[in-house]
Amino acid sequence: MKAVGQNIPHDSAVGHVTGEALYVDDLPPTQGEVLVDAIASPIAHGKLLGNNFDELRELPGIVGLYTVSDLPGHNRFGVIIPDECFLPEDVVEYVGQPIAVVAAENRRALRKAKQLAKLEIEELPPVFTIEEAIAARQFIGPTRTIQCGDFEAAWNEAEHRLEGVFHCNGQEQFYLESQAALVWPNEEGQILIHSSTQNPTEIQQVVAEALGLNFHDVISVCKRMGGGFGGKETQAAIPAVMAALVVRHTGRSARVAYTKDDDMRSTGKRHPFKIFYKAAFTAEGRITGVEFDLYSNGGAAADLSTSIMERALLHSDNAYHLPNACFRGTVCKTNLPPNTAFRGFGGPQGMANIENVVQEIAITLGRDAYEIRRLNCYDHGLRNTTPYGQVVQHHILPEILDRLEETSNYQERLQEIETFNRTSATELRGLALTPVKFGISFTTRFLNQGNALVNLYKDGTVQVSTGGTEMGQGLNTKIRQVVADELGIGYEQVRVMITSTEKNNNASPTAASAGTDLNGMAAANACRAIRERLAEFAAQHLSDAENGCAAESSCIHFGDGRVWDERRPNASIAFAELVKLAYLERISLGERGFYRTPGVDFNRDTGQGHPFFYYTTGAAVSEVRLDRFTGHLTLERADLLMDIGESINPGIDLGQTIGGFIQGVGWVTNEELRYSNKGDLLSYSPTTYKIPNIQDIPDTFRVDYLQNPNHQVNVRRSKAIGEPPLMLCLSVWMAVKHALSCVKPGAIPKLRLPATGEKILRCLTELDGSTSRTEEEIPLIAPSPLTTEPEPKRAAA
Amino acid sequence: MNRTHVTCMINDDETEFLCDNDESLLDALRDEVGLTGAKEGCGTGDCGACSIILNGQLICACLAFAPEANGGTIETVEGMADGDRLHPLQTSFLEEASLQCGVCTPGFLMAAKALLENNPDPTETEVRYAIAGNLCRCTGYDKIVRAVLGAAAQMRKNPIEGARP
Ligand code: FES
Ligand code: FES
């Protein structure tokens, strides 16, 4: 039986339910291990004034305390722009930035040192918001543009015009396992790092560079993560360097595990965006042109911000054909922790904006938003070229929309809801159907490669290792399934081994939803090479020349743990037996497979090209209920429909679909990052930062998939599923906007994302015409206290 | 500093350990006893990843002091299976694919076990209520609810031997 397509439980499922599966901080301590933590900046922007840590070094239990001068290698890092310091040289740029690394025998000593640390920092004027950064002209990288047609002409000739500003806030990844690293000294100055990272290769490189080692002196491994969601794509680096630095100075193994509070305060999140939009459209609702000016809050360093902006631009069309479009994207530099990857990687923000525009077009025209969506949706054959020049092919977007409209009873429910809203004084209901089109591939071409190592043992069992990391998404399970089928053996005969730079070098991060695509194909390629050698040998072994059956490797088949010649199927041999014989014949039983995605190419300078191998698409209908007196929001029902190709593992893909959607629902509803006017995150624990809990799941929740016979590419004709479902959440936010738009027909509710109860209430009050303080008057971050006339101040913390 | 000597039953084994007076029970289980099944998700009693059963009560181990366990009985995820035989809740989590990264899983299992011991036939609302103190960032909860309801049905059909009525 084939393994691909089966509902095989997650590779580590038994370990998870018994508690045996180990994460970094579960690994038992080795003799002499020390615990490591950071002394972090309490100031968002300031100058370091000769801090003296000698007193702390003398505290009982303290093993060492290290600052930038103790770093043997270089201090700058950053995957795109090397503008970030491991430890600050003279200026701190965000609250929570590590200033010194402290190593101790036990937790108590670590806590004491952190409490007693006296930092002398002269405050400098900070910049926190996009508005402040624009005013100060503080940007990261150049403004990037994607355009097609002639927006100006479309605007001038427009039958209808719309313009406004769309805001969306950030989001904390909230992986349940916080950032962690455990570093062991090895012989001759080499080190071994266990890191909870989506990118062991980058950990290897940054640690080597920080310590002044060669890459080959550092091994970086990752068995699994307790969630990543993008937050461990680059930001696992600082904790890894902290522990490695201690190992370098003490020769003892070193462990760092952030507390959730420290993790939330000091690491980057999904980028807040502010988008200025203009749209031209016909009386019928057809969009003739758009102009979007996107600004993101990048935080204090580049990190992945420019790539995230690129993806936001590349998804500013979502599923709509825009004949004349101009998208511009600028990353703002501020004094918040460097913002970073989070599932969707800019896609959600770009798509939220166009969906909001479409919703407002509908309100302006007094039409139903779904009509406008369906009218502008990418079509087949024509009206299917994106603003960046890639043609949307082999898709079933219109079919998905039509099907969902029908299966969710959209039209009847809409009627019923609008009638309800006209009569109810206590509640409002809303409904929205939104599509998702998400491009699969890294938009940076060279990252679209993967390698895998397949080792076959004499008993016929297999170990496979890839550069991909397991963070719960089920990558290892899918790799096992693919390998089992390639070799025609049982799933149990295959094991996926720990991810290590020692086996899989120069790997790309497990990101962009491409983990299975890249690593699965690399593993399949390795298996095919082995199978070819085995087939040649088996052909000899199974031939019967006397009876006219000469050795012919193309006649050899592998399946169900056996190998046979199609001309003599009864003379089959067990796979394990064949492997043993092949070994004796000195046939190589191992292979390193390699894969690069064909055809992808995108020119950043022209903003044109073919950045995506294919698209994963889908749509969702959500129905919400709002309490008119409290603003309380209830998600009553959600129907999801996606095209995910041929699923390698339906159980895992269903989990990704539901989990991604709900994570998105958190972003658009309750997850609100609040900072003090000093740039200190106030919502830094689950006490104040509300990720969806079980009570937030809709009572009626339907998930389905639509077959797409036109999708012929990719590993086993599957499609990437990691990120796309998240953006189905936009239907929830649009449903809220729909509900609010029923208060005063024709008036556009000025709703921000997330739609917290508080914001909904404010919007309601505004629409009802009673006085309310608007969002502009109570911004998410109060204006910086020091933007005018900085008075040098000393802060002791 | 003086360490406190604690004696208790953990998963039916008599266990002794030394701990600091202000050490959390979670840290003691993980660092002193070596049972790392209970996880620290938040350390502030908000996520349920550290859920264990102390003297028949579901608690957040991160909020209890280790010396409180003295003379008590502790159940953790490591003690759920009977040798190689998984508890029906564990099997149900496997069958329903109710886990992804798995960090939250031990906590959910403990919470669900505590629920089913008190209420073998819970409604979906009761299940949701009982595990509302546990956060999961990966699964979107739906399959977790299915797994708990499935296990409850299974256990009503085939009660586990030796289980408390
Ligand atoms: S770690 Fe105890 S509740 Fe989160
Ligand atoms: S499975 Fe990852 S947090 Fe629940």
What is the number of structural domains in chain B?
2
- Exposure string of A273-282, with b = 16+ CB inside 10 Å and e = fewer, is bbbebbbbbe
Pick the CATH number of A449-596 from 2.70.98.40, 3.40.50.720, 3.30.365.10, 1.20.1440.120: 3.30.365.10
Ligand 1 binding pocket includes B38 (Cβ within 6 Å): no
Q: Say if A540 is an interface residue toward chain B (CB within 8 Å).
A: no
10-residue stretch averages of pLDDT, chain A, 797 residues long? 92 96 97 97 95 93 97 95 95 97 96 94 97 98 98 98 97 98 96 98 98 98 98 97 98 98 98 98 98 98 98 98 98 98 98 98 97 98 96 96 98 97 95 97 94 98 97 96 97 98 96 92 97 97 89 96 95 97 97 96 95 96 97 98 94 95 98 96 96 95 92 88 96 98 94 96 87 50 46 42
* SS3 state of residue A357: helix
d(CA A359, CA A353): 10
Q: Say if A86 is an interface residue toward chain B (CB within 8 Å).
A: no
Q: What are phi and psi of A330, to 5 degrees?
A: -130, 135
d(CA A429, CA A319): 26
Quote the radius of gyration of chain B (alpha carbons, Å).
16
DSSP A688: T
> Which two structure tokens, joined as six digits, stand for A105?
């025998």
Q: Is residue B163 part of a domain?
A: no
User: What was the pLDDT predicted at A665?
Assistant: 98
| Residues in contact with A160: Cβ distance below 8 Å, sequence separation at least 6, in sequence order | A280, A281, A282, A283, A361, A364, A365
Q: What is the CATH number of the domain that holds B61?
A: 3.10.20.30
Please name the residue ranges forming H helices in A294-389.
305-314, 347-365, 369-376
Domain extent, residue B19, equals 4-79
> Which two structure tokens, joined as six digits, stand for A24?
């970094």
> Which two structure tokens, joined as six digits, stand for A359?
């919703």
**Ligand 2 center to residue A472 CA distance, Å?**
7
DSSP B82: B
First to last CA, chain B: 44
* Reported CATH class of domain A29-125+173-266: alpha beta
Ligand 2 binding pocket includes B104 (Cβ within 6 Å): yes
Strands (E) in A86-188, as ranges, are 91-92, 98-104, 121-123, 139-148, 160-168, 180-185
DSSP A633-657: EEEEEEEEEEE-BS-S-HHHHHHHH
Please tell me the total number of residues recorded for chain B in this structure.
165
d(CA B66, CA A88): 38
Is residue B34 domain-shared with residue B13, that is, in the same domain? yes
d(CA A433, CA A371): 10
**Ligand 2 center to residue B104 CA distance, Å?**
5
Q: CATH for A273-443+603-768?
A: 3.30.365.10
Question: Quick check: A133 and A122 in contact, CB under 8 A?
Answer: no
Q: What are phi and psi of A417, to 5 degrees?
A: -65, -40
Are B47 and A176 inside 8 Å of each other by CB? Answer: yes
Place of tokens 């350990």: B17
**Ligand 2 center to residue A662 CA distance, Å?**
12
Q: Is residue B114 part of a domain?
A: yes
Are B101 and A661 inside 8 Å of each other by CB? Answer: no
Q: Which of B79, B99, B114 is the last residue of a domain?
A: B79
Q: Is residue B116 part of a domain?
A: yes
Question: Quick check: A228 and A267 in contact, CB under 8 A?
Answer: no
Segments making up each domain of chain A, as ranges: 29-125+173-266, 273-443+603-768, 449-596
Q: Which of B37, B59, B79 is the last residue of a domain?
A: B79
Measured at the alpha carbon of residue A332, what is the angle toward residues A330 and A336, in degrees to the nearest 5? 150
pLDDT (tens, 9 = 90+) of chain B, 165 residues, equals 689 999 999 999 999 999 999 999 999 999 999 999 999 999 999 999 999 999 999 999 999 999 999 999 999 999 999 999 999 999 999 999 999 999 999 999 999 999 999 999 999 999 999 999 999 999 999 999 999 999 999 999 988 764 544
Is residue B75 domain-shared with residue B37, that is, in the same domain? yes
* SS3 state of residue A127: coil
CB pairs under 8 A between A and B: 172
Question: Quick check: B131 and B112 in contact, CB under 8 A?
Answer: yes
User: What was the pLDDT predicted at A43?
Assistant: 97
User: What was the pLDDT predicted at A119?
Assistant: 94
Q: What are phi and psi of A658, to 5 degrees?
A: -65, -45
Option in B20, B46, B109 nearest A685 (CB): B46
* SS3 state of residue A534: helix
Q: Is residue B165 part of a domain?
A: no
Q: Which residues of chain A have a CB within 8 Å of the CB of B128?
A: 694-695, 697
Is residue B9 domain-shared with residue B71, that is, in the same domain? yes
Q: Is residue B132 part of a domain?
A: yes
Q: Is residue B162 part of a domain?
A: no
Ligand 2 binding pocket includes B137 (Cβ within 6 Å): yes
Q: What is the CATH number of the domain that holds B114?
A: 1.10.150.120
d(CA B154, CA A571): 45
- Number of helical (H) and strand (E) elements in chain A, helices listed first: 19, 32
Place of tokens 């509302």: B132
Q: Say if A18 is an interface residue toward chain B (CB within 8 Å).
A: yes
Is residue B65 domain-shared with residue B124, that is, in the same domain? no
Is residue B11 domain-shared with residue B70, that is, in the same domain? yes
d(CA B83, CA B85): 5
Which one from A132, A355, A405, A723 is the annotated catalytic residue?
Answer: A723
Tens-place pLDDT, residues B65-77: 999 999 999 999 9
Q: Which of residues 256-285 of A touch B (CB under 8 A)?
A: 259-261
> Which two structure tokens, joined as six digits, stand for A34?
């020390």
Ligand nearest to the CA of A261: 1
Cα-based torsion angle of the residue sequence A460, A465, A471, A476 in order, rounded to the nearest 10 degrees = -30
Is residue B62 domain-shared with residue B116, that is, in the same domain? no
Question: Quick check: A437 and A450 in contact, CB under 8 A?
Answer: no
d(CA A448, CA A451): 11
Q: At what angle do helices A369-376 and A397-407 cross, to 10 degrees?
A: 150
Q: Which of B79, B100, B127 is the last residue of a domain?
A: B79
A387, A375, A512, A391: which is closest to A433 by C-alpha? A375
Q: Which of residues 8-37 of B touch A (CB under 8 A)?
A: 20, 27, 30, 34-37
Is residue B52 domain-shared with residue B96, that is, in the same domain? no
Q: Is residue B134 part of a domain?
A: yes
Q: What are phi and psi of A675, to 5 degrees?
A: -115, 155
Q: Which residues of chain A have a CB within 8 Å of the CB of B40?
A: 25, 259-260
Question: Quick check: A697 and B142 in contact, CB under 8 A?
Answer: yes
Q: Given the DSSP bridges, would you call strands A325-332 and A139-148 parallel, antiparallel or unpaired?
A: antiparallel
Ligand 2 binding pocket includes B81 (Cβ within 6 Å): no
d(CA B94, CA A126): 50
Measured at the alpha carbon of residue A16, what is the angle toward residues A11 and A21, in degrees to the nearest 5? 85
A368, A162, A147: which is closest to A281 by C-alpha? A162
d(CA A591, CA A526): 5
Task: Indicate if the alpha-carbon torsion angle A591, A596, A597, A598 is positive or negative.
Answer: negative
> Which two structure tokens, joined as six digits, stand for A724?
């796309």
- Number of helical (H) and strand (E) elements in chain B, helices listed first: 5, 5
Bond preceding residue A790 cis, omega within 30 of 0 = no
| Residues in contact with A571: Cβ distance below 8 Å, sequence separation at least 6, in sequence order | A542, A544, A564, A565
User: What was the pLDDT predicted at A769?
Assistant: 77
Instruction: Give the DSSP H/E element, type plus range, for residue A431.
Output: strand A427-440
Query: Taking the model in full, what pTM does it have?
Result: 0.95
Q: Is A723 a catalytic residue?
A: yes
Is residue B44 domain-shared with residue B92, that is, in the same domain? no
List residues bridging with A180 in a β-sheet.
Answer: A257
The edge-to-edge listing of strands for the beta sheet with A494-496 is A494-496, A462-466, A449-456, A590-596
Are A472 and B100 inside 8 Å of each other by CB? Answer: yes
d(CA A636, CA A641): 17
| Residues in contact with A521: Cβ distance below 8 Å, sequence separation at least 6, in sequence order | A450, A593, A595, A714, A715
The edge-to-edge listing of strands for the beta sheet with A191-195 is A62-66, A98-104, A34-40, A254-257, A180-185, A191-195, A218-222, A499-500
Q: Is residue B38 part of a domain?
A: yes
Is residue B152 domain-shared with residue B101, that is, in the same domain? yes
* CATH topology match: A29-125+173-266 vs A449-596: yes
Q: What are phi and psi of A121, to 5 degrees?
A: -130, 130
User: What was the pLDDT predicted at A435?
Assistant: 98
A22, A60, A26, A33: which is closest to A255 by C-alpha? A33
Complex ipTM: 0.96
Cα-based torsion angle of the residue sequence B140, B146, B151, B152 in order, rounded to the nearest 10 degrees = 110
Q: Which amino acid is at A549?
A: C
**Ligand 1 center to residue A60 CA distance, Å?**
29
Place of tokens 């409002």: A428
Q: Say if B78 is an interface residue toward chain A (CB within 8 Å).
A: yes
> Whose CA is closest to atom 3 on ligand 2?
B136
Cα-based torsion angle of the residue sequence B20, B22, B27, B31 in order, rounded to the nearest 10 degrees = -10
> Which two structure tokens, joined as six digits, stand for A659?
């989990």
